[in-house]
Amino acid sequence: MSWLTDAHIHLSDDEFKPELPFILTAMDKMKMRACCVSMDYASSNTTLAIGKKSNLVLPFLGIHPEKANDDLEPVERLIVDNSNQISGIGEIGLDKTYVSDEDGFKRQVHVFEKMLSLAEKLGKPISIHSRKTLDEIFSILPSYRLGGTLLHWFAGNKKQLQKAMDMGCFVSYGPAMVYSQDKQILLLQTRLDKVLLETDGPVRFSKCFGYKTAQITFLPSVLFCASNILRMQYDETLGIVEKNMNSYLGI
């Protein structure tokens, strides 16, 4: 039986803490896995702890661009010391909405490049935050020999999507695709072997999701929507996404 994997979710977020045992049980019953990404040192530690509770949780450690001013060394050390226990490095990337000047963005670039160097050294896939910074990220990535590279919650234009495909990046689509025509059009122009699905929980989604906290249990609805857009059977799409996930993870 195929497994459906959430390519990007923050199970380490405090919002999930009270119901985490129920989430892990639901994942087991529904044959689902989760790439659990981190934001900083504290959430990276929490991610590691959750990963020890269930082999369905694939831990990703890293520093989010919002946290770029945090001390970098403890996170680097945590990643190296636990390299055999983690599945990848993330959430890392760039985002100018979190800085007020050029120096702040340079700090983000510095942290991002440190995380990329670790991913290259350890042979780990990466999960990238790229809000309105895709062109800058495209200019940085070729400097590194990287394995699986995911541009999570892809929100670029068609030209940028083609660039991502040319560079061999994976892109992921989430619950917004269920009601966003723009996302549906992008999916149709994405190479089938580069499509992944995510929830980015605990982000809240509007429309049919009623601004509820995104749960991993939303993911079958995202897969069902993707199947309809691609004019494929649900199980066929699931098989493709599972194969893509294994390729992304290098397994």
pLDDT digits (tens, 9 = 90+) for 57-113: 999 999 999 999 999 999 999 999 999 999 999 999 999 999 999 999 999 999 999
Kindly tell me the burial class for residue 16, based on how many C-beta atoms sit within 10 Å of its own C-beta (0-12, 13-18, 19 or more): buried
pTM summary value: 0.97
Strands 212-213 and 204-205: antiparallel
Residue 1 has pLDDT above 80, yes or no: no
- The residue among 52, 68, 51 whose CA lies nearest residue 60 is 51
Residue pair 115/64 in contact by the 8 Å Cβ criterion? no
Contacts of 65 (CB under 8 A, 6+ apart): 92, 93, 94, 95, 98, 108, 111, 112, 129
4-249 classified as CATH 3.40.50.2300: no
Distance CA 106, CA 68 (A): 10
- The residue among 211, 213, 210, 195 whose CA lies nearest residue 4 is 195
Beta bridge partners, 33, equal: 5
Kindly tell me the burial class for residue 172, based on how many C-beta atoms sit within 10 Å of its own C-beta (0-12, 13-18, 19 or more): buried
The pLDDT tens digits for 202-212 are 999 988 888 88
Other C-beta atoms within 10 Å of 236: how many?
12
Contacts of 81 (CB under 8 A, 6+ apart): none
